[in-house]
Structure 1
Amino acid sequence: MKPSLYTSLSPALLPLYDVSSSIVVIIDVLRATSTIATALYNGARCVIPVDSVAKCIEIGRQIDGITAGERDGHIAEGLEHGNSPFEYPREFVAGKTLVLTTTNGTKLLHMALEKGAQQIVTGAFSNLDAVCDYLTRKAQPVVLGCSAWKDRVNIEDTLMAGAIINRIGSAFDINCDSSKMAETLYKDAKKDLYGFMEKKRASHFIRLSGYGLQEDIRYCLTSNAANVLPVYSEGKLTSDLTI
């Protein structure tokens, strides 16, 4: 029998899914999971995802790490760096530990942990192939967890879930309308993800564009720009080089 695959379109919906027997893919395209993949691709030792600014600062001091993150799209007060993948080139991040907190993505990761997720990985368009290869190789039940925006469903995370399903859905038993909706949306958008987001006036597209972050958006919608698989274990995300 094929393993199951479900899509949670918002953190508010995660309690409806059995994560205790599933690989949970945390998706936060704009921008947490894109930045995590980029930092690890560029040689970061690991990324420690935390759910509060205070904890980020505390851990950063303890380990002499890079404290980074955002609230509502801006660098959070008290942190050194933000949530843009362009802030973490190899010459800056290689060999270092990034302690990261974000509005949505790291929050969802900790929710999945609290609910006993069997395994957690993070996914974005920037590491799409790595995620798909891993999920098909493992052949275990999957929950695609969209971080959304403050529990409100968003387009970009739904598109990413749809991209995964479009590529590897045939390897899974999918009895899940949200998964089918995500794939349908992706099929409509896949020729030009940026143009689709712009045309549909996606809320996060408008929000980040208002901050002048169009290049961040383009990068985060580019497939396989940082094709590594971040895997969560013992409080940190590291790159799985076995895929």
Structure 2
Amino acid sequence: MTTSNKPSLEVCLSPALLHLYDVKNSIVVIIDVLRATSTICTALYNGATSVIPVATVEECVNIGRAIDGITAGERDGRVAEGLVHGNSPFEYPREFIENKTLVLTTTNGTKLLHMAKDAIQIVTGSFPNISAVCDYLAAQGQNVILGCAAWKDRVNMEDTLFAGAVISRIREHFEVGCDAAIAAETLYNTAKGDIYAYMQQASHYQRLAKYGLEKDIAYCLTPDGANVLPIFREGKLVPF
């Protein structure tokens, strides 16, 4: 086995596996491509002051009321009961979200973010901000864990594909010896010719397509539509 002075780059394919990783000595990238982390970077790119990720609908409503924020979230791909807005990136154009705070709760992504709270730093990643994520990680010289939000702890294709896409761009800066990372990159290399077509076999594609959300899916799989880096500071995601 080769040794290297480079930092490590690992992939955690599910929140259920996060306890196996050295979170305290790593930057953790929260990945929830469909759709939480795609929507977070879109809201910030369009001028949101911050995004506050919360675990429950009740917490979302209470914080939103206290700060006069926009409360949003989903459960199982639909707008959560008690909330007005969901987690479609198209719900947050500049004319709506600029200079406002979004309070967001989602099925998978916000849960993983809170689980990773002891990390050196937490950022969120998705295809719409992949260049910002890669540039940041390559510049930091720190160990990185690409944390996939998955679907209710089950490995999913879209988050794994994104992790693979990141690895393919920045592996020269890191030691990549993690089997999950190698598998993610292999999957991405298989799919990269047409990620949208490849994703049509995925369970979450089919789940969202049932609700007519193909436009959301296409946006969430397209690079650099909202190229800003959300970074977690004092309970809020703000642009880096």
TM-score (norm 2): 0.98
Q: Which residue of 2 aligns with 1:49?
A: 53
Offset of residue 42 of structure 1: 0.2
Residue range with higher mean Cα deviation, 168-177 or 22-31: 168-177
Matched ranges for 1:21-32 at <5 A: 21-32=25-36
Matched ranges for 1:78-117 at <5 A: 78-113=82-117, 116-117=118-119
CA distance in 1, matches of 2:22, 2:122: 13
Offset of residue 80 of structure 1: 1.5
CA distance in 2, matches of 1:163, 1:175: 16
CA distance in 2, matches of 1:103, 1:73: 8
Q: Which residue of 2 aligns with 1:180?
A: 182
Identity %: 68
Secondary structure of the residue aligned to 2:180 is: helix
Offset of residue 30 of structure 1: 0.0
Secondary structure of the residue aligned to 1:121 is: strand
CA distance in 1, matches of 2:142, 2:94: 33
Offset of residue 191 of structure 1: 1.2
CA RMSD of aligned residues (A): 0.4
Secondary structure of the residue aligned to 1:153 is: coil
Q: Which residue of 1 aligns with 2:235?
A: 235
Q: Which residue of 1 aligns with 2:220?
A: 220
In the alignment, structure 1 residue 5 sits paired with structure 2 residue 5: no
Amino acid at match of 1:124: S
CA distance in 1, matches of 2:70, 2:107: 18
CA distance in 2, matches of 1:43, 1:102: 21
- Residues 106-125 of structure 1, C-alpha deviation per residue, up to 9 Å, x if partnerless? 01001111xx1111000000
Show structure 1 runs of 4+ deviating over 3 A: none
Secondary structure of the residue aligned to 2:153 is: coil
TM-score (norm 1): 0.97
CA distance in 1, matches of 2:109, 2:193: 26
CA distance in 1, matches of 2:38, 2:171: 22
Structure 2 unaligned regions, length at least 5: none
